């Protein structure tokens, strides 16, 4: 039976009554016993007449769990790939499924849904369009709004939680499932609704689904954020989040910085020519009320992280998520920013940020960033917030790799710029050797090679090399010219994290027994124990035993 024939069957014949009621008689008690199914709000579910069930989508089980809310068959769309197997095609079509070709604007599927509603039966719609897991609910498409307007059928907002956890490989686990229905929503019937109207109706329906989802304990989207640290990157993140409609606070170090921003509407020393949104609340970090924040972003250099944690840590609520933007090493033990914060603050949800994202260019032209964390739901939550703020986001569980890739990028750029006094070959050798030595250290600590090869490593390295105002490159150029380290910070006006990280990094690599002559030599230049020209010349000087490149 082909695609069109299956849709026609749903329009005209409906379910196979014998198969449907036999399967339901077995499955519904199984759901209650094995998955301890909890159903809330059944009084809001009409037991006759047309109705649209609008629900979030986490698992292949979702339509069957939703079906237990009503004492009659429910019809639902399923991706057409599921209908290729003859037995599965017969089985799920007998239970009310009909195919949809996703991403094609399948008119036949919409016609089938309208016909089912017109004859007085329920239809299940997943506004997200696909399964979304883990983390908060995903973005919606306008199909549910269009269907509600074209049919005039009431829409019951539904959320379910737990179905994403019942399956691991081929094993079906006894994990609790809960489902909740809200009050039905009604909209006037419109014969040919415009896309804008359909989208507006969907935008009315989806918050009702989110309300059920959060009542069940589902993770909510980021609505309120605070950025502590008003440097270029901290200011850029705060601007992007505020532009996305997230209630955002920006915490400055001094009252003078707050007054300057208020006077000009810009953070001129760090992010000139970018007007801050009126909705962005700017104050001293010590004066911000963080009690209601969903997300707190620590946008300070690694060297300043201990002071920031000591100053603000006790005011960050335990329920808030934390994002650490520092790219460096905190102390001589090799402790990374994420571990440092996790050990000292009560927050259970924490992530780091990496990738090529220079603030001014990110606001003007966009950027690809990497969110690293060990908790998949929180990582997805942060990714969703930054995606709403206009970033292209990749998430990963390799937080160690993301942090050390940022360290490697800063060190490699500093190395290349410092060694450039001896020519481009020395600069390339410096960057390559330093980057490779830190990559070896990252692998020793569990980092993945693909993280260094991707956006967080190679991508960020290239962006920093070509950026006109790269702090680490400019710091390296001054270091190569013999400018004392003590004068570089004041000349830049900002922190070059590579400078501060090098001595700590060299010590950490030595303690881990990772061979790192290039990093050790650069650290000696930073500490004034060796001049830049001598170190740069040593990078390409023959005489050492030939080394075979790793396969």
74-78, 229-233, 489-493, 520-524: which has the minimum mean pLDDT? 489-493
Residue 465 lies in a domain: yes
Catalytic annotation, residues: 409
The predicted structure's pLDDT at residue 546: 42
Same domain for 210 and 127, yes or no, is: yes
Same domain for 34 and 180, yes or no, is: yes
Strand segments, DSSP code E, in 190-285 are 224-228, 247-252, 281-284
The predicted structure's pLDDT at residue 544: 53
pLDDT band at 551 (very low <50, low <70, confident <90, very high): very low
Same domain for 205 and 234, yes or no, is: no
Same domain for 96 and 131, yes or no, is: yes
Strand, helix or coil for residue 75: strand
The predicted structure's pLDDT at residue 139: 87
- Among 215, 233, 255, the domain boundary falls at 215
Summarize pLDDT for 25-72 with one digit per residue, the tens: 999 999 999 999 999 999 999 999 999 999 999 998 999 999 999 999
User: How many angstroms separate the CA atoms of 38 and 66, rounded?
Assistant: 11
CB distance 353 to 296 below 8 Å: no
pLDDT of 199 higher than 90: yes
- Among 176, 193, 215, the domain boundary falls at 215
CATH of residue 262's domain is 3.40.50.720
CATH of residue 160's domain is 3.40.1130.10
Residue 242 lies in a domain: yes
C-alpha pair distances (Å), 74 with each of 47, 178, 347: 11, 19, 43
Number of H helices, E strands in the chain: 22, 17
Same domain for 151 and 281, yes or no, is: no
Residue 30 lies in a domain: yes
The predicted structure's pLDDT at residue 44: 95
- Among 152, 185, 215, the domain boundary falls at 215
pLDDT band at 482 (very low <50, low <70, confident <90, very high): confident
Same domain for 200 and 300, yes or no, is: no
User: How many angstroms separate the CA atoms of 503 and 496, rounded?
Assistant: 13
Same domain for 204 and 351, yes or no, is: no
* 512, two tokens: 């881990």
pLDDT of 545 higher than 60: no
Q: How many domains does the chain contain in total?
A: 3
Helix (H) or strand (E) holding 356: none
The predicted structure's pLDDT at residue 142: 87
Strand segments, DSSP code E, in 325-430 are 350-354, 368-373, 392-396
Same domain for 231 and 342, yes or no, is: yes
pLDDT of 549 higher than 60: no
Residue 551 lies in a domain: no
Residue 80 lies in a domain: yes
CATH of residue 416's domain is 1.10.1040.10
Q: What would the mean pLDDT of 224-249 be, rounded to a whole number?
A: 96
Same domain for 120 and 186, yes or no, is: yes
Same domain for 276 and 333, yes or no, is: yes
pLDDT band at 105 (very low <50, low <70, confident <90, very high): low
Strand, helix or coil for residue 112: helix
Helix (H) or strand (E) holding 288: none
User: How many angstroms separate the CA atoms of 380 and 387, rounded?
Assistant: 10
Tokens 């849904």 belong to: 113
Residue 303 lies in a domain: yes
User: How many angstroms separate the CA atoms of 232 and 270, rounded?
Assistant: 5
Residue 549 lies in a domain: no
Same domain for 294 and 194, yes or no, is: no
Which structural domain range is residue 434 located in?
A: 410-539
Strand segments, DSSP code E, in 299-398 are 321-324, 350-354, 368-373, 392-396
* 122, two tokens: 């329920």
CB distance 406 to 418 below 8 Å: no
Burial grade of 508 (CB within 10 A; 0-12, 13-18, 19 or more): buried
pLDDT band at 543 (very low <50, low <70, confident <90, very high): low
Summarize pLDDT for 410-469 with one digit per residue, the tens: 999 999 999 998 899 999 999 999 999 999 999 999 999 999 999 999 999 999 888 877
pLDDT of 547 higher than 80: no
Same domain for 202 and 273, yes or no, is: no
The predicted structure's pLDDT at residue 548: 47
Residue 544 lies in a domain: no
Backbone φ, ψ for residue 223 (5° rounding): -115, -30
């Amino acid at each position: 039976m082909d695609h069109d024939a299956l849709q026609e069957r749903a329009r005209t014949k409906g379910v196979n009554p014998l198969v449907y009621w036999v399967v339901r008689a077995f499955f519904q008690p199984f759901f209650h016993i094995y998955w301890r199914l909890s159903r809330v709000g059944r009084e809001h579910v009409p037991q006759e007449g047309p109705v649209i069930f609008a629900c979030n989508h986490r698992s292949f089980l979702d339509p069957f769990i939703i079906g237990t809310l009503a004492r009659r068959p429910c019809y639902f769309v399923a991706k057409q790939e599921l209908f290729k197997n003859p037995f599965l095609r017969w089985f799920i079509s007998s239970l009310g499924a009909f195919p949809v070709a996703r991403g094609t604007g399948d008119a036949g599927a919409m016609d089938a849904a309208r016909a089912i509603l017109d004859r007085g039966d329920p239809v299940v719609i997943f506004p997200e369009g696909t399964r979304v897991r883990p983390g908060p609910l995903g973005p919606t498409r306008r199909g549910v709004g269009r269907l509600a307007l074209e049919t005039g059928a009431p829409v019951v907002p539904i959320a379910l939680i737990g179905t994403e956890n019942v399956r691991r490989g081929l094993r079906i686990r006894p994990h609790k499932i809960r489902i909740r229905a809200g009050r039905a929503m009604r909209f006037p019937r419109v014969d040919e609704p415009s896309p804008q109207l359909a989208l507006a109706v969907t935008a009315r329906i989806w918050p009702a689904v989110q309300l059920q989802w959060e009542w069940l304990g589902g993770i909510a989207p980021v609505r309120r954020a605070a950025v502590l640290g008003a440097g270029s990157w901290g200011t850029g993140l705060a601007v992007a989040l505020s532009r996305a409609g997230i209630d955002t606070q920006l915490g400055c170090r001094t009252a003078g910085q707050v007054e300057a921003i208020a006077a000009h509407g810009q953070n001129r020393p760090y992010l000139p020519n970018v007007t801050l949104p009126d909705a962005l609340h700017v104050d001293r970090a010590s004066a911000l009320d963080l009690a209601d924040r969903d997300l707190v972003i620590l946008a300070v250099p690694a060297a300043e992280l201990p002071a920031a944690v000591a100053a603000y840590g006790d005011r960050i609520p335990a329920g808030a998520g934390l994002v650490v933007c520092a790219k460096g090493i905190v102390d001589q033990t090799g402790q990374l920013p994420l571990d440092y914060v996790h050990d000292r603050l009560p927050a259970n949800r924490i992530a780091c940020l990496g990738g090529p994202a220079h603030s001014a260019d990110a606001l003007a032209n966009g950027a690809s960033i990497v969110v690293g964390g060990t908790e998949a739901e929180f990582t997805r939550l942060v990714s969703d917030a930054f995606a709403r703020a206009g970033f292209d986001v990749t998430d990963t569980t390799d937080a160690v790799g993301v942090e050390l890739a940022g360290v490697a990028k800063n060190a490699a750029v500093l190395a290349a710029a410092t060694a450039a006094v001896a020519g481009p070959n020395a600069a390339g050798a410096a960057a390559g050797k330093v980057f490779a030595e830190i990559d070896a250290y990252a692998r020793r600590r569990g980092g993945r090679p693909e993280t260094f090869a991707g956006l967080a490593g190679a991508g960020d390295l290239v962006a920093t090399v070509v950026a006109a105002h790269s702090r680490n490159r400019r710091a390296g150029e001054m270091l190569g010219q013999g400018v004392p380290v003590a004068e570089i910070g004041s000349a830049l006006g900002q922190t070059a994290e590579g400078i501060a990280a090098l001595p700590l990094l060299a010590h950490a690599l030595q303690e881990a027994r990772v061979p790192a002559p290039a990093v050790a030599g650069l650290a000696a230049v930073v500490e004034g124990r060796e001049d830049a020209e001598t170190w740069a010349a040593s990078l390409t000087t023959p005489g050492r035993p030939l080394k075979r490149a790793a396969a």
